[in-house]
Chain A
Amino acid sequence: DVKVTQSSRYLVKRTGEKVFLECVQDMDHENMFWYRQDPGLGLRLIYFSYDVKMKEKGDIPEGYSVSREKKERFSLILESASTNQTSMYLCASSFSGQGARGNTIYFGEGSWLTVV
């Protein structure tokens, strides 16, 4: 079974703090993704990566950065957390390529971040 593990399930941080959300996958997937999910807005893509040390901006990258130093690990960084970043954050991964194999993404359990 594909395993995507997010290091923290629930976090409470203060405004202005630097926040790290870690994600590890064990299926040797090339692609990794960070989404946030908010009621009424659905899943929104923050950043993604198709290879080590590579990153691409998604639809809402402002206020976030990412790091991919190893293939299995993709970190989301909030440089200075703000209350509007309170959300559920989902990490996901997939193989590269087209079709079902390349496009089927597998999600981690999610990290609920509250910024106060």
Chain B
Amino acid sequence: GQNIDQPTEMTATEGAIVQINCTYQTSGFNGLFWYQQHAGEAPTFLSYNVLDGLEEKGRFSSFLSRSKGYSYLLLKELQMKDSASYLCAGGYSGNTPLVFGKGTRLSVIA
């Protein structure tokens, strides 16, 4: 099966920049998703990358390298409300469901 790996926990300071990495298996890979999930709530869609490079969306950016099987989510100007879990998910060919990583719990501290 396809494995999605990401760090379990990260801590960063309010106002700083944090990068959350994700690695995935490249065989049959179609695209890479990032979701945000606040405690006790459902995951919400953040970004989708299918081509190599950086996609910027306000304070959040997502990067993909298809050849390396690597992605990261970059959060700038961190705010306390960014404390959440960030889920990396890979889309694969064959009309199969997304494969989710276990999520990275980010704590933003003052």
Could you say which of B12-20, B73-81, B92-100 contacts chain A?
B92-100
Kindly supply a per-residue 1/0 record for chain A positions 100-115, scoring 1 wherever the CB is within 8 Å of any chain B CB and 0 otherwise: 1001111111100000
Residues 77 to 110 of chain B near chain A (Cβ within 8 Å):
87, 91, 93, 95, 97-98, 100-103
Measured in the bound complex, the distance between the Cα atoms of B43 and A105 in whole Å is 10
Q: How far is the CA of A33 from the CA of B41 in the complex (A)?
A: 17
Q: Is the CB of A106 within 8 A of B98?
A: no
Contact (Cβ within 8 A) A108 B48 = no
B31 within 8 A of A: yes
Question: Are B48 and A33 touching (Cβ within 8 A)?
Answer: no
Question: Given A100-B31, A103-B31, is A50 in contact with B95 using a C-beta cutoff of 8 Å?
Answer: yes
Contact (Cβ within 8 A) A90 B100: no
Q: Taking CB as reference atom, which chain A residue is nearest B90? A: A103
| Contact between chains at B45 and A43 (CB < 8 Å) | no
Secondary structure class of chain B's binding surface, majority of residues: loop
Instruction: Say yes or no: is B10 at the interface (Cβ < 8 Å to chain A).
Output: no
The answer on a CB contact under 8 Å between B50 and A106 is no
Residues of the A chain whose Cβ atoms lie less than 8 Å from the Cβ of B30: 98-99, 103
- Residues 36-79 of B, flagged 1 when their CB comes within 8 A of A and 0 if not, give 00001111110010100000000000000000000000000000
Contact of B42 among A31, A40, A98, A107 (CB under 8 A): A107
Cβ of B101 and Cβ of A42 under 8 Å apart?
Answer: yes
Name the contact of A103 in the complex, choosing from B42, B43, B87, B98 (C-beta under 8 A): B98
Residues of A within 8 A of B (CB): 31, 33, 40-43, 45, 48, 50, 58, 90, 96, 98-100, 103-110
16 contacts between A and B (CB under 8 A): A42-B101, A48-B97, A96-B95, A98-B91, A99-B30, A99-B50, A100-B31, A100-B48, A100-B50, A103-B30, A103-B31, A103-B98, A104-B33, A105-B45, A106-B45, A109-B41
